[in-house]
């Protein structure tokens, strides 16, 4: 599939936005990397210019380091006041657009 998409991009001058949690083999396919956190663009770089890729085995290792750093930041933040937590949980129960499923990657 990735070979087909790459060929289509080259022949037609198209762009593929591939949003995934599976990174196997993407370091040889992707040209750019976008990292979004809390709905905000945190990084947008050419994969070939990504400093972390110089010392990493693969793209998964780089993304995993970003996620681990993000989790450390969350651990250092003060807990949300109970009133805000109650309101947030009530909103998530009402909204049909809020996912109740969570995905995690474990090595």
- Give the C-alpha separation, 89 to 59, whole Å: 34
Q: Is residue 54 part of a domain?
A: yes
Percent of the chain that is helix, strand, coil (3-state, to 5): 50, 10, 40
For the chain, the domain total comes to 1
Boundaries of domain holding 61: 1-75
The pLDDT value recorded for residue 106 is 41
Please tell me which residue, 98 or 16, carries the higher pLDDT value.
16
Backbone angles phi, psi at 37, to 5 degrees: -130, 130
Q: Is residue 102 part of a domain?
A: no
pTM of the model: 0.58
Q: Is residue 19 part of a domain?
A: yes
Distances (CA, A) of 5 to 13, 72, 85, 86: 11, 36, 43, 45
pLDDT 10s digits, 45-67: 999 999 999 888 888 899 889 88
Q: Is residue 14 part of a domain?
A: yes
């Amino acid at each position: 599939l990735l070979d087909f998409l790459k060929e289509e991009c080259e022949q037609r001058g198209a762009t593929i936005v591939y949003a995934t949690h599976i990174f196997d083999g993407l370091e040889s396919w992707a040209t750019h990397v976008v990292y979004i956190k809390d709905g905000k663009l945190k990084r947008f770089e050419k994969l070939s210019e990504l400093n972390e890729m110089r010392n990493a085995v693969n793209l998964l290792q780089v993304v995993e380091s970003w996620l681990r750093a993000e989790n450390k930041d969350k651990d250092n933040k003060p807990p949300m006041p109970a009133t805000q937590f109650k309101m947030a949980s009530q909103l998530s129960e009402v909204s049909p657009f809020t996912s109740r499923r969570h995905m995690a990657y474990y090595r």
